[in-house]
Structure 1
Amino acid sequence: MLTLYSYPDLFGVADNNPYGLKVYAFLKLCKLAFRHEHILDAEKAPRGQLPYLEDNGEAIGDSDTIIAHLIARYTLPIDDGLTASQRDTDHLIRRMLDDLYWVMSYSRWKDPRFWPLFRDALLRTHPGLTKAALDKARDYNFKRYYYQGIGRYEPEAVYDRGVADLRVLAHLVPEGGFLFGAKPSSGDASIYGFTANIYFYEIDTPLKEFLMSRPNLVAHCRAIHAALAG
């Protein structure tokens, strides 16, 4: 049995981290049976990062590496038929989403307008968590933001960067269907991991305000969400 280890759920979304949700969505779209274990301690994870997957005793880290591993090992057809140009577009979108991640994370852990709301939502949803543990995680994230660079920006500049990423994504996602046609690809799982953690997020950040103004992004998110429940 495959086991996905990732961060806890929040606001009805299976993982409040976009990378874990991306892998979760991929597994669901491919109809692979798996166990989902929610954890916070990444000590046992490859490179000390979540999510990671256990497959017959083998631990695989990094969301893109996990997806590539599953496609190869289980001969999954989800990306069959994509052209070379579409595969390049998928790669570029995933790298852009890596940039968006930092803005999403900043909006939760650093921005003083939203941090108390995020913290309290986690504590309500997961009574086993403590304020002390979340404060420790917040201090750790502050260091990450500083060394990555986003922590040195003024808040307005941070959100300008994230909105710019979402604007480009809105130009690429079609008005109907999925990224490359009538059926979802692994790229759609990647997009959902991020957009669902903005759309279903019950805190009105600038990222959510922008996403809600783009009907195609909302429709895409809802379509994948419905497909996962089916």
Structure 2
Amino acid sequence: MITLYSYPQLFGLEDNNPYGLKVFAFLTMNGLSFEHRHVLDTSAAPRGQLPYLDDDGKIIGDSDAIIAHLKQRYQLTLDDALDADQQSTDLLLRRTLDDLYWVMSYSRWRDDRFWPIFRDALLAQHPQLTADALEKARRYNFERYHYQGIGRYEPEAAYSRGLADLRAVSRLLGNGPFIFGAEATSADAGLYGFIASIYFYDIDTLLKRYVLTQENLVNHCGAMRKRVKRAAD
């Protein structure tokens, strides 16, 4: 039995963290049966980070490690057609999305313009949460941002990094419909996790404004959303 542990839902998405949404999309795209458990306590997670997977007692953390494990154990063929250059592109895309993550997170927890919207959405959808708990989480994130480096940026400089990431991803995608052409791969699950976490959020950040101007990113997000929901139903 596969169990995915990830953060709670928000704005209609199955996870309010792009890495958890990435794994959810990958699981559903491949038709794997799994239980999805939404948690906030990360103490049981490898390295104290979500998402993580329990596959018949084998615990795997990190979204890339989870996907690698699933491909090997269940002999998934989603990426088998990728050549060496495409595999390298896939890796570079994932590293770019890792950089984008910090800007996305900064926009929700650090930027005073958008923090109240994010906080209130969480409180409205998850009554078990408290404002005090979220303030504590916010202070913790401030520390993370400082040590990672993004917290030492002024907002405009932070967003310029994220916008550069999005521009590169949009150029890579081109006319699509998917990263490597007509068929979706695990790279598309990763891209979907991030773009959906911007596009479907009712938070008017500079990142969302940019995504709305890129028809290819919007179309990719919509196509993946339909595919994920169809597979999950």
Q: Same fold (TM over 0.5)?
A: yes
Partner Cα separation in structure 1 for residue 222 and residue 28 of structure 2: 15
For 2:196, give the aligned amino acid: A
How far residue 175 of structure 1 moved from its aligned partner, in angstroms, is 1.7
Q: Secondary structure of the equivalent of 2:54?
A: strand
Which residue identity lines up with residue 29 of structure 2 in the other structure? Answer: L
Structure 2 residue 186 is matched with structure 1 residue 186: yes
For 1:175, what is the secondary structure of its paired residue?
Answer: coil
In the TM superposition, what is the alpha-carbon distance from 1:176 to its structure 2 partner? 3.5
Identity %: 63
Residues 1-230 of structure 1: matches in 2 within 5 Å? 1-230=1-230
1:24 to partner: Cα distance: 0.4
In structure 2, C-alpha distance between the alignment counterparts of 1:217 and 1:15, rounded to whole Å: 20
**Structure 2, unpaired ranges of 5+:** none
Q: Deviations over 1:107-133 (max 9, x none)?
A: 000000000010000000101111111
For residues 66-100 of structure 1, give each alpha carbon's deviation from its aligned partner in whole angstroms, at most 9, with x where no partner exists.
00000000000000110100000000000000000
Cα separation, 1, equivalents of 2:192 and 2:82: 19
TM-score normalised by L of structure 1: 0.99
Q: Aligned partner of 1:223: which letter?
A: A
Q: Deviations over 1:198-218 (max 9, x none)?
A: 000011000000010000000
Letter in 2 for 1:227: R
Letter paired with 2:182: A
Following the alignment from structure 1 to structure 2, what is the Cα–Cα distance between the partners of residues 228 and 66?
Answer: 18
Check conservation: 2:21, 2:193, Cα contact below 8 A. yes
Measure the CA separation in 1 of the matches of 2:172 and 2:223.
Answer: 16
Note the aligned Cα RMSD (angstroms): 0.6
Moved over 2 A (4+): none
Q: Distance in 2 between matches of 1:44 and 1:54?
A: 11
State how far apart, in whole Å, the 1-side matches of 2:148 and 2:177 are: 35
Tell me if structure 1 keeps the 8 A contact 2:3–2:34.
yes
User: Using the alignment, how far apart are the partners of 2:6 and 2:207 within structure 1?
Assistant: 23
For structure 1, list consecutive stretches of 5 or more residues without a partner in the other structure: none
Looking at structure 2, the residues matched to 170 and 177 of structure 1 have their Cα atoms a distance apart, in angstroms, of: 12
